[in-house]
Structure 1
Amino acid sequence: MVKSKGKKRYNTPLRPFESDRLISEMKLIGEYGLRNKKELWIFKNITNTTKKRARDLLITNSNEELIFCGRALLDKLVLTKVFGDDVSLITKEDVTKNLERVLDLEVNCFLERRLQHRVFELGMANSVHHARNLIYQRKIMVKGRIVNKPGYVVTGNDEAYIELKEVPEGKKKGEQVAKVAVES
Structure 2
Amino acid sequence: MSTGKNTKGYETPNHPYQGERIAEESDLLSRYGLKNKEELWRAQSELRRMRREARRLLGDAQGDVDVAGETGAEFVARLRRIGILGDADDISSVLSLDVTDLLERRFQTVAYRQGFGSSPQQARQFIVHGHVTVDGARVTRPSVKMDVSDESAIAFDETSPLADDLHPERAESQE
* TM-score normalised per structure 2: 0.83
Is 2:54–2:91's contact at 8 Å kept on the other side of the alignment?
Answer: yes
**What are structure 2's unaligned runs of at least 5 residues?**
165-175
The aligned counterpart of 1:179 is none
Counterpart pick for 1:113 among 100, 105, 109: 105
The aligned counterpart of 1:164 is 156
Q: RMSD of the TM alignment (CA)?
A: 2.3
When residues 25 and 2 of structure 1 are mapped into structure 2, their CA distance, relative to the original with a 3 A threshold, is same
Displaced runs of 4+ in structure 1, greater than 6 A?
62-65
SS in 2 for 1:59: helix
Kindly report which structure 2 residues correspond to 1:76-115, keeping only aligned pairs within 5 A, or say none. Answer: 76-87=78-89, 98-115=90-107
| Whole-Å separation in 2 of the counterparts to 1:13 and 1:144 | 39
| Whole-Å separation in 2 of the counterparts to 1:142 and 1:124 | 12
Question: Do residues 124 (structure 1) and 116 (structure 2) align?
Answer: yes
Counterpart pick for 1:66 among 57, 68, 74: 68
The alignment-based identity, stated in percent, is 30
Q: Whose radius of gyration is greater, 1 or 2?
A: 1
* TM-score normalised per structure 1: 0.79
Is 2:108–2:123's contact at 8 Å kept on the other side of the alignment?
Answer: yes
Deviation per CA, 1:50-106: give whole Å up to 9, x if none: 01111111111477973443222211110000111224xxxxxxxxxx222110000
| Whole-Å separation in 2 of the counterparts to 1:148 and 1:61 | 41
Question: Of Structure 1 and Structure 2, which has the larger fraction of its residues in helix?
Answer: 2
The aligned counterpart of 1:147 is 139
**What are structure 1's unaligned runs of at least 5 residues?**
88-97, 173-184
